[in-house]
Amino acid sequence: MELTLWTYEGPPHVGAMRIAASMEGVHYVLHAPQGDTYADLLFTMIERRGKRPPVTYTTFQARDLGGDTAELVKRHVREAVERFQPEALLVGESCTAELIQDQPGALAQGMDLPIPVVSLELPAYSKKENWGASETFYQVLRGLLRNQAPEQASHDPTAWQTQGRRPRVNLLGPSLLGFRCRDDVLEVQKLLTMHGIDVGVVAPLGAGVGDIRRLPQADLNVCLYPEVAESGCSWLERTFGMPFTRTVPIGVGATHDFLVELHGLLGMTPPAPEEGYRRSRLPWYSESVDSTYLTGKRVFIFGDGTHAIAAARICNEELGFTVVGLGTYSREMARPVRAAARELGIEALISDDYLAVEAAMADASPELVLGTQMERHSAKRLGVPCAVISTPMHVQDVPARTSPQMGWEGANVIFDSWVHPLMMGLEEHLIGMFRHDFEFVDGHQSHLGQAGGTGMGSDQARAPETTPSESDLIWTADGEAELNKIPFFVRGKVRRNAEAYARQVGCREISSETLYDAKAHYKA
Amino acid sequence: MVGPTLLKESGPREVFCGLTSIVWLHRRMPDAFFLVVGSRTCAHLIQSAAGVMIFAEPRFGTAILNERDLAGLADAQEELDRVARELLQRRPEIKTLFLVGSCPSEVIKLDLARAAERLNEELLGQVRVVNYSGSGIETTFTQGEDGALAALVPMLPSSDERQLLLVGTLADAVEDRLIHLFHRLGIKTVRSFPPRQSTDLPALGPGTTVLLTQPYLTETARLLKNRGAKILKAPFPLGAEGSRAWMAAAAEDFQVPSETVADVLAPLMERAFKALEPHREVLAGKRIFLLPESQLELPLARFLQRECGMELVEVGTPYLNKEQMSEELALLPAGTAVMEGQHVEQQLDRVRSSQPDLVVCGMGLANPLEAEGITTKWSIELVFSPIHGIDQAGDLAELFSRPLRRRRLIQPALHPAGSEHPIHT
């Protein structure tokens, strides 16, 4: 038993719903009690979908449990097939139904339906949403393509050269309730078009049963979101011999690497390295003098594996930030995240306890947080600016405008959305600097609300946890005054450094001189 | 008897389970914690229904069962003790701990009553531990509050004092206002259940007259009656007319002269009538279809028909307690289709074929219907908004007139009216 207050991921059947709702002509019969329909609102409210997810809930009740729940499953399967006329049916169960062991998938498979039935077994008490999405996508591919599997996997990704056509690739992984998938698909399509590469099938987002069946006709697969598509891509590789790309094109460097990998696999000449510089504004914006103040900004990164790893690379190589924390809630992605952290000389945080993440965040005293909606709230409490880079997300993370994360335009979007909160940080600093000027209107409202602008910074937000341990130290009036001249977003760190320094040299009073001594000590 | 036509259907449902009521119960009693014993689905459900993660540490959480608990490798009772202790250590300000049963805990027959008893002994009165079920296999949405309150009834001290007890969670401001009005009617002792502090439980006995503020408190009402309280029969306090009848029922029981009632309430009624006027202009003659969800559907339908002039196409309700709803049913026009239970697909077929002007439904259905060109009002807002009492009648009407006004404001050409295919898929 595990105490959970807020959770990063839903149960695995919500992952299955994401796949079903992303596709066309697929229906999902979910053996589940009343109440599990809450999951519909994730799609209709967060994604503002104008269509109900294609899910029929068997809605069993306590009084059904003594009777024939298996018959209930079959009735709903029959009704769903008749009403929605799907081309393929997914059948599975939620946590409660797993306990009563009706095996709805097997039941449906025994009903002699005129359409393919994919049975989903998603262990609700050990797995989570992304795993459920990945497993469902894999089972859909397997279920619909098994018959086409050749005896011997033989596939030549350069065959297009002799067939008198352009190279053709599938984009796998984009799904509903994924982070900016809708826009990433457009952007990657554009990117590939510029390189004379056609897109065969995009799946699961927008794919029908026929589309899945024509996946093997492409030269290779592009795995856009490993969380959802990696196991499916691996199966296609094992079964059909179709290779897939491993690089996720988020950021200028990664987009370039992705193009090189893709061109290599297709037997094409890789693009010139300066393409990113010409196509994206991120590199120049980052070089321009206005960005000098971004140098060494301390960034704390937390999210799903793909977006966290991509963010770390962009921060480190493209924006000149210092990554002071990197982690993921996804155990499945722990290994690559750990490796990415190691390269940056830090230890990765693998946890799905948002309070542990918040504590790590406070401890790292970042100047910018890149995280999920959970970290956005934590950062708000700590008074640190934040940009959302990953699911779990909220309705505001599904903007009306096109705002991809991938490709050249994705890099532009990232520059704007990560630097914008920091600009605000600079603005806060200026407000703090000028607030004693007579022109300054009292009561100027900071965008950080209570936490910013008025000089109440991250140090105060954290005061309760630091006060007891520092009771042995006294801040003199001029020490406090000097401290207050420091921008609020680094004040916490300066305060702690000064106190650590004072303890180290055995001094009980912290004056402005001690502050300068500490500064020199730590800069040296 | 001429009255509404009572119908029933069953099938796939689109309603919340009883766990959802934690979203408002935990706000009502800030010294209580609601610990769901369930699955990740339960945690995800409450989080999704609660909307955004505003609180660092909310006063609700889930003890998520894992494979070890299910396989019997871990003693679920011991595990629950451990989680409860851990929780109470972190939150020393908690005075009442609700152990809330869920679908999985009910199916594996995890005995939460035994757990509550044991924890009560261990905690020696520092924290009171009670249990109830909010599971979807047994409860619907607002029924969760019924379960929580019913679990508290045995804890209520006894008293013969003459008092009026308002039962059911109200918004604090609305509650203050209603109590003030009862005082003006001359009813001196008015208490509330649930109280604002979980330790501040009202006493109960033969001198107690109960007014239910919400229509979903069947079990609680039964238990209060068993403890000697008198449960008044009245329409529920939604809309001016219903609220007036509701207050008048209490006044009659406390032998308040009818002139006093008229003196106190007539000006309020007049004001409410004025407040309703602009909304009536929008709503009168419009056809409304209420899908089952909050159990407020019957009183709302009565208000919208009688005071706002709306035409009722169908009034859904998750379940129907005819006894408790008798006053409401009597006020509905003859022949009104009242549908108990749900087959969501068939019901949506009826929505589409009847083309109502407004549909009251849950959040899972609202946007899809809007995309089909059907105006909606999502029902969860009705359980969060201060809508009870004569003074709130105008605000209540506005919740229904706003979507219609909005629909009129937005250039209709933006939406391909009558299109069979929604554009925003």
Catalytic residue among A290, A363, A442, A472: A290
Same domain, A66 and A95: yes
Same domain, A29 and A73: yes
Q: Report the pLDDT value the prediction gives residue B384, as an integer from 0 to 100.
A: 83
Nearest by Cα to A176 from A412, A393, A328: A393
Measure in Å the smallest separation between the Cα of B300 and chain A Cα atoms.
Answer: 23
Same domain, A190 and A228: yes
* Domain residue ranges in chain B: 18-139, 163-260, 269-414
Q: Report the pLDDT value the prediction gives residue A422, as an integer from 0 to 100.
A: 83
A394:B80 CB<8 A: no
Report chain B residues whose CB lies below 8 A from the CB of A358: 56
Hey, what are A40's tokens? Answer: 């519909």
Q: Using an 8 Å Cβ cutoff, are A190 and A148 in contact?
A: no
DSSP string, B12-71: -----BGGGGHHHHHHH-TTEEEEEEE-HHHHHHHHHHH-S---SS-SEEEEE--HHHHT
Residue of A nearest to B19 (CA): A35
Residue of B nearest to A50 (CA): B368
d(CA A396, CA A399): 6
Given a cut of 80, whether residue B57 has pLDDT beyond it is no
Instruction: Answer whether residue A316 is part of any domain.
Output: yes
Measure in Å the smallest separation between the Cα of A446 and chain B Cα atoms.
Answer: 19
CB pairs under 8 A between A and B: 199
B107:A57 CB<8 A: no
Q: Which of B65, B78, B81, B137 to mutate to test the interface with A (most CBs of A within 10 A)?
A: B137
List the CATH code of the domain at B18-139: 3.40.50.1980
Parallel, antiparallel, or unpaired for β A55-57 and A26-31?
parallel
Q: Report the Cα–Cα distance between both ends of chain B, in Å, rounded.
A: 47
Instruction: Answer whether residue A23 is part of any domain.
Output: yes
B80 vs A1, A45, A50: nearest CB? A1
Nearest by Cα to B54 from A308, A307, A5: A5
Residue of A nearest to B14 (CA): A37
Percent of chain B with pLDDT over 70: 96
Q: Report the pLDDT value the prediction gives residue A451, as an integer from 0 to 100.
A: 45
CATH of the domain at A486: 1.10.8.550
Look at the block and give the residue holding tokens 């009740």.
A61
Same domain, A142 and A69: yes
Q: Using an 8 Å Cβ cutoff, are A371 and A386 in contact?
A: yes
Same domain, A130 and A196: no
B408 or B33, greater pLDDT: B33
A95:B106 CB<8 A: no
Same domain, A232 and A297: no
Asked if domains B163-260 and B269-414 share a fold, the reply is yes
Instruction: Answer whether residue A218 is part of any domain.
Output: yes
Instruction: Answer whether residue A444 is part of any domain.
Output: no
Three-point CA angle B15, B17, B23, nearest 5°: 105
d(CA B315, CA B350): 12
Parallel, antiparallel, or unpaired for β A298-303 and A322-328?
parallel
DSSP string, B251-267: HHHTT--HHHHHHHHHH
Instruction: Answer whether residue A433 is part of any domain.
Output: no
> Does residue A444 sit in helix, strand or coil?
coil
Quick one: pLDDT band at residue B53, thresholds 50, 70, 90? low
Instruction: Answer whether residue A447 is part of any domain.
Output: no
B41:A83 CB<8 A: no
Residue of A nearest to B54 (CA): A377
Q: Which helix (H) or strand (E) holds A502?
A: helix A488-505
Q: Report the pLDDT value the prediction gives residue A89, as an integer from 0 to 100.
A: 98
The superfamily CATH assigns to domain B163-260 is Nitrogenase molybdenum iron protein domain (3.40.50.1980)
Same domain, A31 and A116: yes
B11:A7 CB<8 A: no
Same domain, A130 and A168: no
Instruction: Answer whether residue A509 is part of any domain.
Output: yes
Residues of chain A with pLDDT under 70: 423-429, 431-471, 488-489, 524
d(CA A412, CA B85): 49
Which amino acid type is present at position A154? S
A38 vs B48, B64, B367: nearest CB? B48
User: How much is the ipTM here?
Assistant: 0.94
Q: Structural domain of residue A504, as residue ranges?
A: 457-523
Last residue in a domain, options A93, A121, A148: A148
Instruction: Answer whether residue A7 is part of any domain.
Output: no
Report chain B residues whose CB lies below 8 A from the CB of A394: 52
Parallel, antiparallel, or unpaired for β A168-172 and B358-361?
unpaired
Measure in Å the smallest separation between the Cα of B173 and chain A Cα atoms.
Answer: 26
Q: Report the pLDDT value the prediction gives residue A471, as an integer from 0 to 100.
A: 61
Hey, what are B147's tokens? Answer: 């379960």
Residue of A nearest to B50 (CA): A6
Hey, what are A119's tokens? Answer: 């049975």
Handedness of CA B318, B322, B324, B328 (dihedral sign): positive
Measure in Å the smallest separation between the Cα of A98 and chain B Cα atoms.
Answer: 9
Measure in Å the smallest separation between the Cα of A251 and chain B Cα atoms.
Answer: 29
d(CA A87, CA B70): 36
Report chain B residues whose CB lies below 8 A from the CB of A96: 39, 41, 103-104, 107, 136-137
CATH of the domain at A303: 3.40.50.1980
Residue of B nearest to A9 (CA): B44
Same domain, A382 and A329: yes
Q: Which of B40, B48, B423 to mutate to test the interface with A (most CBs of A within 10 A)?
A: B40
Write down the pTM of the prediction.
0.90
Same domain, A178 and A128: no
B212 or B3, greater pLDDT: B212
d(CA B304, CA B276): 11
Write out pLDDT tens, residues A125-145: 999 999 999 999 999 999 999
The superfamily CATH assigns to domain B269-414 is Nitrogenase molybdenum iron protein domain (3.40.50.1980)
Q: Is B369 exposed, middle or buried (0-12, 13-18, 19+ CB in 10 A)?
A: buried
Q: What are the φ/ψ torsions at residue B260 (nearest 5 degrees)?
A: -60, -45
> Can you give the three-state secondary structure of A320-368, one letter per residue?
CCEEEEEEECCHHHHHHHHHHHHHCCCCCEECCCHHHHHHHHHHHCCCE
Same domain, A389 and A252: no
Q: Which of B57, B69, B78, B103 to mutate to test the interface with A (most CBs of A within 10 A)?
A: B103
Measure in Å the smallest separation between the Cα of B174 and chain A Cα atoms.
Answer: 29
Quote the number of domains for chain A.
4
Q: Report the pLDDT value the prediction gives residue A166, as an integer from 0 to 100.
A: 97
B58:A5 CB<8 A: yes
Active site residue A290: yes
> Can you give the three-state secondary structure of A133-151, one letter per residue?
HHHHHHHHHHHHHHHHCCC
B364 vs A5, A41, A96: nearest CB? A41
For residue A112, give Cα distances in angstroms to A139, A144, A505. 19, 16, 81
CA dihedral A181, A184, A188, A189 (to 10 degrees): 70
Same domain, A170 and A44: no
d(CA A269, CA A260): 8
Last residue in a domain, options A148, A180, A200: A148
B11:A1 CB<8 A: no
Write out pLDDT tens, residues B61-86: 999 999 999 888 788 999 999 999 99
